[in-house]
Structure 1
Amino acid sequence: MSKKDIKRVTGIGGIFFKSEDPTAAKNWYKNHLGLNTDDYGCTFWWKDKEGKDASTQWSPFKKDTKYFEPSKKEFMMNFRVHNLVELLEALKEEGVTIVGEIEEYDYGKFGWILDPDGNKIELWEPIDSAFQ
């Protein structure tokens, strides 16, 4: 299989944005839009095309977070991917800027890239079953 044929993004893993007061933001979205918020924001559960449980995370971060660096933007997108290691290898060969090293947790692997506008993008190979 060529690098062009590998699975890339399989869905949106999360929407993250900076907030002056993340707690107030979570409460506003809970009270006015009905989001079931917790300390991290809100997790939306859905089924993928194979019928497996999948999730998308919505999270406000503190205004001074360093997590989005080197991007100067107020938001960061997280995309679900099938095979993070394989995808990062292909992206590196294609000249995409890779940020940091892969991090692994019981709920998946994470890697980061920059798009042409300097937006930091988080790539997540999820283990959705870790949340259940």
Structure 2
Amino acid sequence: MEIRETGIILFCEDYESVLAFYSEKLGMKVRQRSKELATLDFGGSYLMLEEEGFASDKEKKRSQNPTVIRFNVNNFDSSVSELMARGVQVKVESFDWGTIGIVIDPEGNRIELKD
């Protein structure tokens, strides 16, 4: 098998709200968009947003969504500051292995920035 590209599909209950969050708040470039799905640049890969998901008003438990979206960034502090300036809440936590910034999207999905 020769893999041309990798991607992640995230199912959304409120597709328009989630698309606005990822494109406007997180600054991800939209590659293509239709009424029911959108594809965004995700490093050397893509993130596809589709309808028919499940939203939560707080962070989903691992049993509800066992996946974390991870962004390894070049400048952690600058990235955190940029997101906070856009109105995104970022919770910074430090561990022996590094520092992460935790962001929860409008539907309760966990996103992490990694230094």
TM-score w.r.t. structure 1 length?
0.37
Which has the larger strand fraction? 1
TM-score w.r.t. structure 2 length?
0.41
